[in-house]
Structure 1
């Protein structure tokens, strides 16, 4: 099988030696081409060319969730076509690797490579659903291009936290759970004027849900990890269904403390709950509007601020080697 390995040389947990071992292992079973990313969006461009070439059967992403997101968007540039597009494989090399771990892959490069080779030899794969988000027609965000995401998106508070974390990483800070906790506290202090919600969720044929302070959109569970601890915002979310939504209508100090505790103690059976919690399962399409522009993120990548975003859950969008 002809395959393309897309390597992010800045991947947090890999070294040049580790990458060489990976390339050697994959080349023993595949007709392998290796491409190293050189700029933001390069992985997307490489994957798109592989999909358009018609002679590549597999694209392997070596990197974190951002690299995987770019590769997915390149593969699905012209839309989902699971039977004809190259399959995706992931070797986790980032700090969190939510997508790979949600697929059940080891969080170690060497172990994940071994699991990938075993899956290729045994021919095991699954077709996963993905989320698609874009500008909303009739709003100032109408011209924003649609973009696929693999495991989550966020509108409001959590996206603001990710924006703060990215600023710290640009200053040389390592991405650690402690860094995220500090930025959560700073974001909360900075949002004291927004304890009441500005977000409205609209669904076809349903009454609007108003006054959301923040919203988390999940395509799978867990939502994220703190080191090896899985965090479940929407425990029912799955690659086999459409999208789940978790929203809060209050973010007072007491409420925020309760939600954080519920997230930290969440399980596959039980996530955040309470009278100020909105939880929706298996949503095919919905739109989030905000009275003021709010931070927006997809797969842990801060994308600036938006006033309105339309989400679509697409079942069976892409084949993945597992």
Structure 2
């Protein structure tokens, strides 16, 4: 992916808040403490560097919002996988602080965003302080006016994506067990129908909106020349087809990639039945007969690079 960004002048931070899950199955607590030590050694200035452990699911949203809402030049770091970073991004977006910056230190089972976007060790990026803005995906699933919008930093998926993710979350981690779970889930999977903006009904096995060109560690979704600050996202569709063809398409994604995919700035449809969806690893759901709008939030997130 082309990663040409408009970069601001080097920034320093008044405070750096490092958010992590102390009960992570990975090494998040150790990595968070390690990052704190390295920053104290590396930075030429002395910001307040705070470790903030989460206490429950969704707590990272609150912690990130509170950190950013204090105002000033604050950096909020998520030591996590894609799902944990999603919570931090949403919390910072809710705070509305234009000087707040987000970053992620990979420490989870799925680290698509960090793997694709990172160009150097995080502590070096923080020391250099080069901030740029990237697009986010914003989804509206019938929220009330006073409810905050939901954002994704990497992708939003309907169909196979959240169904497989839900089953993986129930089971044990590990490559072999994950593979068995995927096969079992796929064998029972049923397609889903939606009503398009033009009123026509269509049936899909998978519908993914992507701000990065890879997901699930191995799959190359798109060969598009765009980058995460071009005001558009890719739409990857698997229309309903025989399961053997879905398997061949998935195999192509992991070996050759799926090639060029259409890029849009917004996409609308209406659900016919309740549907699960996945945002950066976090599984949510939308009710039946709800108009769903996915749109690009141009250059909405300040991050390091």
Specify the TM-score bucket, using the shorter chain as the normaliser: 0.7 to 0.9
Contact 2:21–2:28 (Cα < 8 Å) also in 1: no
Equivalences for residues 1-322 of structure 1 within 5 A = 1=13, 2-14=15-27, 16-28=29-41, 29=43, 30-77=47-94, 84-105=98-119, 115-136=121-142, 146-168=149-171, 173-174=172-173, 176-191=174-189, 194=190, 198-202=193-197, 210-225=202-217, 230-236=218-224, 238-241=227-230, 242-267=232-257, 271=258, 279-281=261-263, 283-307=264-288, 308=290, 309-322=292-305
In the alignment, the residues of structure 2 paired with residue 121 and residue 145 of structure 1 have an alpha-carbon distance, to the nearest angstrom, of 32
In the alignment, the residues of structure 2 paired with residue 166 and residue 256 of structure 1 have an alpha-carbon distance, to the nearest angstrom, of 22
Contact 2:28–2:107 (Cα < 8 Å) also in 1: no
Q: Could you say if the C-alpha distance between residues 10 and 56 of structure 1 is closer, same or farther in structure 2, counting changes exceeding 3 Å?
A: farther
Q: Normalising by the residue count of structure 1, what TM-score does the alignment of the two structures yield? A: 0.79
1:8-31 per-residue CA deviation (whole Å, 9 max, x = no partner) reads: 223343164444322211234332
In the alignment, the residues of structure 1 paired with residue 195 and residue 86 of structure 2 have an alpha-carbon distance, to the nearest angstrom, of 27
1:55-81 per-residue CA deviation (whole Å, 9 max, x = no partner) reads: 3521111111111111100000155x6
**Structure 1 regions of 5+ residues with no counterpart?**
107-114, 274-278
Q: Normalising by the residue count of structure 2, what TM-score does the alignment of the two structures yield? A: 0.83
The aligned length equals 284
| 1:181 Cα offset (Å) | 2.7
**Structure 2 regions of 5+ residues with no counterpart?**
1-12
User: Residue 213 of structure 1: SS of its match in structure 2?
Assistant: strand
In the alignment, the residues of structure 1 paired with residue 149 and residue 28 of structure 2 have an alpha-carbon distance, to the nearest angstrom, of 33
In the alignment, the residues of structure 2 paired with residue 210 and residue 231 of structure 1 have an alpha-carbon distance, to the nearest angstrom, of 24
| 1:34 Cα offset (Å) | 1.5
1:246-280 per-residue CA deviation (whole Å, 9 max, x = no partner) reads: 1122231221122122111134xxx168xxxxx42
CA RMSD of aligned residues (A): 2.7
